[in-house]
Amino acid sequence: MIKIGVVGANGKMGSQVVNLAINNKDFELVCAIDKFGVGKQLCENVVVQDDLEKALKDNKADVVVDFTQPSVIFENIKTYIKLGVKSVIGTTGLTNSQIEEIEKMSKSSNVGVIIAPNFSIGAILMMKFASEASKYFSNAEIIEYHHNQKKDAPSGTSIKTAQLMMKNNDNFKLGNCAETETIKGARGGEYEEDGKGKIQIHALRMPGFVASQEVVFGSDGQILKIHHDTFNRECYMSGVELAVKHIFENNQFIYGLENIL
């Protein structure tokens, strides 16, 4: 039985993880942390608390699952490593340099961390296919669509997709003419890596979407579109389950669910 703590337990994703931890025969929910809904009873022995360190120390979680928000996630992960608690991180918004720092801390302290910008299997495949297509196309742009309560832009998935694409092609956006934006931001944001070119990312925010992404490739006379839609948040839970079981057995640092599929 894996003892699980959920951070952000009162949120849209966190409450799904609470259900998973309560209903999965291999898991036991031992603590739930959120700054809202404190005192709410989630199951017989667990109420929502707001003191992260105390909750983790008192309840000895084997694995903590974090779906909070970009402004707190870096400090939260440092706390998990300091307390020696393995973590599965779904919260997005970490910068590349923060991820590098977490990797060093995780390895030097020997405390496993999985950071996955996307836990949906379809989205992982969408990223893999985009990475594969990048061997054959040097012009690509990413459009990501999310609900209008999302706090960070562009999405962690779109950034991770661009990174995987650049692993297979270091000459993106060849041949575009010089451009002028008459409305600032019209061409989206540029994801750029040293010497590898640029991939433009466009972020749409509106009610109705959960999370979707389209990667559009072009070359003379042809367009390839790779598109993935998410309709509810249950689609992430099989990926969360896989990540919890993996990190429980392995003391590794992992960035991206594709590395354990």
Ligand X SMILES: NC(=O)c1ccc[n+]([C@@H]2O[C@H](COP(=O)([O-])OP(=O)(O)OC[C@H]3O[C@@H](n4cnc5c(N)ncnc54)[C@H](O)[C@@H]3O)[C@@H](O)[C@H]2O)c1
Q: Which two tokens stand for residue 179?
A: 């451009």
Q: Could you say which of 146, 160, 196, 246 is catalytic?
A: 146
Looking at the Cβ atoms of 7 and 30, the one nearer to ligand X is 7
| Residue 256 near residue 160, CB atoms below 8 Å | yes
Name the 3-class secondary structure at 118. Answer: coil
**Residue 256 CB neighbours (<10 A):** 17
3, 4, 5, 8: which one contacts ligand X (CB under 6 A)? 8
Alpha-carbon distances of 120 from 145, 146, 231, 235, rounded to whole Å: 15, 15, 11, 6
Under the criterion CB under 6 A, does residue 35 sit at the interface with ligand X?
Answer: yes
137, 172, 236, 255: which one contacts ligand X (CB under 6 A)? 236
Report d(CA 121, CA 80) in Å as an integer.
26
Q: Which residues, 6 or more positions from 139, have their beta carbon under 8 angstroms from its beta carbon?
A: 172, 173, 174, 175, 176, 217, 218, 219
Looking at the Cβ atoms of 8 and 112, the one nearer to ligand X is 8
CB of 3 to ligand X, least distance (A): 19
CB of 77 to ligand X, least distance (A): 12
Tell me, residue by residue from 108 to 127, as one string, x for binding to ligand X by CB under 6 A and - for no binding. --------xxxx--------
246 is a catalytic site residue: no
Q: Could you say which of 128, 150, 198, 245 is catalytic?
A: 150
Report d(CA 135, CA 175) in Å as an integer.
17
150 is a catalytic site residue: yes
4, 6, 13, 140: which one contacts ligand X (CB under 6 A)? 13
Q: Strand pairing partners for 27?
A: 2
Residues that bind ligand X (CB under 6 A): 7-8, 10-14, 33-36, 67-70, 72, 90-93, 116-119, 150, 236
Residues designated as active site:
146, 150
